[in-house]
Structure 1
C-alpha cells in the first residue's frame, strides 16, 4: 500500500482518533481493500490505520501463487462499524483462505493497542481521497440495517456457497432416489445434467433482502384496481414499507445502498438484481410520491451518486440490458412532473433528468408510438344459419 501525503497535524490527529484494522498473516499477493480502494498485499503488510469512524467495507480475495501469475479468487467482504480509536484484530485462516475475527481476545487487543506505535510502520493509511465518494454511497446505511440485511455468517461472498440437498455418496444412495449410478453410461447432455446433485445455498450465507410482493394488488381487487396497481406500484411499495420499515420508511434507501455497494464492490450479482427490483418499485410508484415526499427527495440524491459510479467497462452493459434504467426512470420523471406532485420534488426531478441526459445521452422522452392507443383485433364471428 502506497503512503499518502497528508498534513502532519491532520495525520497525527487521525492516528490518535482513527480506528485501526490489524490483519495478521495475510499472504503476500492477496487482493485486499477497504471501501472504494483495493491493493495487493506486500510482505510487510499488517493492516490499515487512521480509518475514520463509521461504517466500512473490508474486502479481500485470496491469490493462488501470485509469484507465478496465479489467479485471484472470488471476493469476500465484511461490513465493520468502527468507533473512534477502535482496534479490530483478525488473523488469516490459511485452510479457509479467509480472515477470522472471531478469536480476538480483549487482552490481546489491548496488547496490540499498547504496541501500536511499534506496529505503525507496517500499517497502510486509509486513503482519504475517496472518503467523500464512499460516504455518498452509504450515508443512508446504518449498523442495524446492515446487520438485518447481510448473511447470518456476517460474510458477503461474491459466489454463493452451496451444498447438495441430499448426500448421495454411493450408488445405493442414488438408486434409492431413483437416480442412475455415476458409472452408468450417459447418452445425452440433458441426461448428464439430470445426474448432477441438486444444490442449495449453505445455511447462514444467504442475503436477507426485503421480500417484494409477487402480487401487486390486494386480495379481492376488482379488475380496475388490478390494472391501476400494475401501472402504479404504490400498493406493493407500501406493503414492503409496512412489513420492514414502518417506523422509518426512509430506511428502504439504506437497503438500496446496501444492495448497490454489495454488487459494485462486493461483486455479488444477486445484489444487483435486488437493487434493480427496488429501483423499479420506487420509481414506478406515483401515489407514493405524494405520501412519502422526503423519501423521494432523498431517493434522487441516492440515485444521483449511484449512477455517477457506474464503471464504463462492465456495469454499464448490465444496466443497459433491456434498456432497464432509461425505461424505469422515464416513468419516474413522468410521474414526478404531475400537477399534484410537490414543487420541490418536481424541480429536483427535472434537474436530475437534465443531468442524466447530458452525462449519459439517455433519452427520456416517450416514444409517440408507445403512447398511441392499442388496436385490438377481435376474432371474426362466424354465425350459423
Structure 2
C-alpha cells in the first residue's frame, strides 16, 4: 500500500527538502531516484522535496526507436535545502562532465518558485524502504567504493589489456603446446588455451569500475598445515577477518553489502551483484566468527531478509535454480547459528526469518543437521 504524505510532512519537505535540477534532458529519457523511475516529459526539470540523506539518481537515454541505453547512476548525500544542478550532454547522452556555472546555479536557486511546476515531488511512499537499504553506507565508505568517474554504469566500459597487465603466468600467444601431453583431457585443455590466446583480453577502463574490497587470493594463512587448510575450507572465518582488517569498523562490511545490492538492484550492475554474492557466501560460511562478531551477523540476517524481499521474483527464481545459491547458503548459516553459543535473541530472529522463507518460497529448512552431498567438505590429506 502506498504511503500517503500527510500535510505536516509535505510542509516540512517543502522547507527542508533538497532539489535536484536536471537541465536539457531529452523528452522520453528514463529517469529515476532511489527505487522509482519515469520517462521524462517535455516540462521535466528535476525533482523537489528530496528528504535529506543518501539517495541514488539514475538515468538511461532512449533512442527514437525506443532502444534503452544501459543505466547510469550516482549516489549523493543531499543536505537540508540543497540545490544540486546537472546538465545533459547531447554528445555523450549522459550527465555533462562540465560543472554548471555558479552564476546559473545562483539564478536557479533564486527562482525555485517559478521552477516549481517543472519539478516532480520525491516519491515519499518508498522512503522507509529506501532508508532500510542504505542506512549503513557512510560518506567515507562511499568515497572508497565508488568508481573514480563518480558514476556507476550497468555496462562496464572495457579497453584492451596489454601483455604486462595480463594475469601472472599468462602471456599473449603463450600456450602449453611445448609441454608434454599425457592424456586426451590435457590435449583438450591445451586446445582451449590456444583458442583463448586468440581472443582479445579486456580490462575495465580506468576510473569506471567499482572499487569494492578485494578478497584474499588464499583462503588460509601462509604456512598452514594440511589439517589447518582443511579446517579453513570448512570455516571461512580467516577470509572474513582478512576482509574486516581493511575497514575502519567491522560493520562497514554491511555498508558495502548495501552498496553492492543497490548498485545491482537499482543500478543494474552485474559487477556489484558478483561482489554481493561473494559477501553472502562468505558470511554464511563462517562458524567461529559468529560469536566473536555477534552484532555483525545480527545486522547481516536483518539485511538479508530485506534483500531477499526486494529481489524481483523472476530473478530470485533464477538465483535459486542456479545451484540453489541463496537457499544452500542460508541452510549453512541457519545450521551454524543454531549449533553455536550465540544468545537466544539471534536464534529467534533466524527462526522467524526461516519460517517466513518457507511460507513465501516453500523452501525446506528441516533437517539442518544433515549435509547435502555437494556441501561435503574437501579433505586435504598429507
TM-score, normalising length from structure 2?
A: 0.85
CA, structure 1 residues 262+54, in 2 after alignment: closer, same or farther (shift >3 Å)? Answer: same
* Shift of residue 193, structure 1, vs aligned partner: 8.3
Task: Tell me the equivalent position of 1:106.
Answer: 102
Radius of gyration: which is bigger? 1
CA, structure 1 residues 102+342, in 2 after alignment: closer, same or farther (shift >3 Å)? Answer: farther
1:252-271 maps to which residues of 2 (within 5 A)?
Answer: 252-271=253-272
Task: Tell me the equivalent position of 2:188.
Answer: none
CA, structure 1 residues 369+145, in 2 after alignment: closer, same or farther (shift >3 Å)? Answer: closer
Task: Tell me the equivalent position of 2:79.
Answer: 83
Which sits farther off after the overlay, 341-350 or 363-372? 363-372
Q: Is 1:225 paired with 2:224?
A: no
* Shift of residue 82, structure 1, vs aligned partner: 0.4
Task: Tell me the equivalent position of 2:202.
Answer: 199
* Shift of residue 355, structure 1, vs aligned partner: 1.5
Q: Is the contact made by 1:28 and 1:42 (CA closer than 8 Å) also made in structure 2?
A: yes
Distance between the aligned counterparts of 2:321 and 2:110, measured in 1? 52
1:1-385 maps to which residues of 2 (within 5 A)?
Answer: 6-65=5-64, 69-100=65-96, 102-165=98-161, 197-242=200-245, 244-245=246-247, 247-365=248-366, 366=368, 368=370, 370=372
SS at match of 1:26: coil
CA, structure 1 residues 218+165, in 2 after alignment: closer, same or farther (shift >3 Å)? Answer: closer
1:317-375 CA deviation, whole Å, 9 max, x = no partner? 1344110111111110011002422222222222211121111111223485738998x
Distance between the aligned counterparts of 1:219 and 1:199, measured in 2? 31
Task: Tell me the equivalent position of 1:169.
Answer: none
* Shift of residue 164, structure 1, vs aligned partner: 2.6
SS at match of 1:88: strand
* Shift of residue 297, structure 1, vs aligned partner: 0.9
CA, structure 1 residues 372+61, in 2 after alignment: closer, same or farther (shift >3 Å)? Answer: closer
Which sits farther off after the overlay, 365-374 or 7-16? 365-374
* Shift of residue 83, structure 1, vs aligned partner: 0.3
User: Any gaps of 5 or more consecutive residues in structure 2?
Assistant: 163-171, 174-192, 377-382
CA, structure 1 residues 327+91, in 2 after alignment: closer, same or farther (shift >3 Å)? Answer: same
Which sits farther off after the overlay, 36-45 or 333-342? 333-342
Q: Is the contact made by 1:90 and 1:101 (CA closer than 8 Å) also made in structure 2?
A: no
Matched residue count: 347
Distance between the aligned counterparts of 2:34 and 2:70, measured in 1? 17
Which sits farther off after the overlay, 94-103 or 294-303? 94-103
Distance between the aligned counterparts of 2:328 and 2:375, measured in 1? 19
User: Any gaps of 5 or more consecutive residues in structure 1?
Assistant: 167-176, 179-189, 375-385
Distance between the aligned counterparts of 2:370 and 2:338, measured in 1? 18
* Shift of residue 106, structure 1, vs aligned partner: 3.4
Distance between the aligned counterparts of 1:192 and 1:47, measured in 2? 50
* Shift of residue 41, structure 1, vs aligned partner: 0.5
1:257-282 CA deviation, whole Å, 9 max, x = no partner? 11111111111111111100001111
